[in-house]
């Protein structure tokens, strides 16, 4: 399929990730008007003024996260639920937090329809993490923060990996990977990206 060849040409080599992205229909995570562009490598609008990420960026972040089948993963910024579905194909335990109730509700429906493993969507402020389920082996933020949130680093297991876009909200941001060792945090820069900002609190959705 053209979609998978395109991801390969952008440096995605991990066979498990390519398989997961072939198995999860991105079209199911989009509203009708945007469905014709589901397999173009572009971000697209979703409800509540948010966006579903570009497929090659989803693949790149997932590859950097290095998810193994026994990892407990936390995603901040459920959005459409697409990234969570890819993660759920790779491991058995995924928690994802979204501050817009409406997006969380829609994502839950979509994820249930796909009959994936254990994936739970939570409406809440992801910058607070999920203390009752911590520590996590992997944490992925799909909204940009000025700095890596200390609360989330605190919920990452030693030996764990966190991937996130950092930088000011309306500018180009840098994707970074943080590996937590027993003595420190190791940072790797993975290139420029552009995400919506990580905002505090639960959104006041207009029903
Ligand atoms: N991963 C998504 C795309 C992310 S868009 C997908 O696959 O479709 C970023 C999302 O982060 C938006 O839906 C936005 O509402 C959400 N967000 C921003 N700040 C947040 C916070 N503090 N807690 C939870 N979600 C947040």
Q: Is residue 106 part of a domain?
A: yes
How is residue 188 written in tokens? 């790797």
Q: How far apart are CA 140 and CA 51, in angstroms?
A: 16
pLDDT value of residue 206: 62
Q: Which domain holds residue 178?
A: 2-193
Q: Is residue 120 part of a domain?
A: yes
Q: At CA 23, angle to CA 22 and CA 24, rounded to 5? A: 100
Q: Is residue 110 part of a domain?
A: yes
- Tell which residue, 46, 44, 64, has the closest CA to residue 174: 64
Q: Is the pLDDT of residue 182 over 80?
A: yes
Q: Is residue 200 part of a domain?
A: no
CB atoms within 10 A of CB 51: 16
- CA 102, 44, 168, 79 torsion: positive or negative? positive
> For ligand 1, atom 2, which residue shows the shortest CA distance?
79
Rounded to two decimals, the pTM is 0.97
Q: Is the pLDDT of residue 22 over 60?
A: yes
pLDDT value of residue 8: 96
Mutate to test the pocket of ligand 1, among 34, 38, 108, 142 (most ligand atoms within 8 A of CB): 142
Can you give the CATH number for the domain in which 145 is found?
A: 3.40.50.150
Q: pLDDT of 26-54, one tens digit each? A: 999 999 999 999 999 999 999 999 999 99
> What are the C-alpha distances in Å from 23 to residues 18, 30, 85, 88, 92?
9, 16, 10, 11, 16
Could you give the number of structural domains in the chain?
Answer: 1
**Strand partners for 45:** 51
Q: Is residue 204 part of a domain?
A: no
Instruction: Determine whether 53 is an active site residue.
Output: yes
Q: Is residue 202 part of a domain?
A: no
Contact present, 96 and 120 (Cβ < 8 Å):
yes
Mutate to test the pocket of ligand 1, among 49, 55, 79 (most ligand atoms within 8 A of CB): 79
Q: How far apart are CA 123 and CA 186, in angstroms?
A: 30
Q: How far apart are CA 72 and CA 54, in angstroms?
A: 24
Residue 31's φ and ψ, nearest 5 degrees, are -75, 155
3-class secondary-structure state, position 17: helix
Cis, peptide link before residue 135, omega less than 30° from 0: yes
Q: Does residue 83 line the site of ligand 1, with CB under 6 A?
A: yes
Q: pLDDT of 183-193, one tens digit each? A: 999 999 999 99
Q: Is residue 199 part of a domain?
A: no
Q: Is residue 198 part of a domain?
A: no
Contact present, 160 and 152 (Cβ < 8 Å):
no
Q: Is the pLDDT of residue 123 over 70?
A: yes
- Tell which residue, 12, 35, 194, has the closest CA to residue 86: 12
């Amino acid at each position: 399929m053209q979609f998978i060849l395109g991801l390969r040409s952008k440096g995605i080599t991990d066979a498990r990730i390519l398989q997961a992205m072939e198995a999860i229909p991105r079209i199911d995570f989009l509203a009708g008007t945007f469905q014709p562009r589901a397999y173009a490598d572009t971000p697209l609008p979703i409800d509540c003024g948010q966006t579903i990420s570009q497929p090659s960026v989803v693949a790149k972040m997932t590859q950097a996260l290095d998810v193994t089948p026994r990892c407990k993963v936390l995603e901040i910024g459920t959005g459409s639920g697409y990234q969570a579905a890819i993660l759920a194909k790779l491991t058995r335990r995924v928690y994802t937090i979204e501050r817009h109730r409406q997006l969380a509700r829609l994502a839950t429906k979509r994820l249930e329809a796909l009959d994936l493993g254990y994936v739970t969507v939570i409406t809440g402020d992801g910058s607070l993490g999920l203390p009752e389920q911590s520590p996590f082996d992997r944490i992925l933020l799909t909204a940009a923060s000025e700095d890596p949130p200390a609360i989330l680093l605190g919920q990452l297991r030693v030996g764990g990996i966190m991937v996130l876009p950092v930088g000011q909200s309306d500018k180009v941001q840098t994707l970074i990977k943080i590996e937590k060792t027993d003595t420190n945090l190791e940072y790797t820069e993975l290139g420029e990206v552009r995400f919506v900002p990580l905002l505090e609190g639960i959104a006041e959705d207009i029903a």
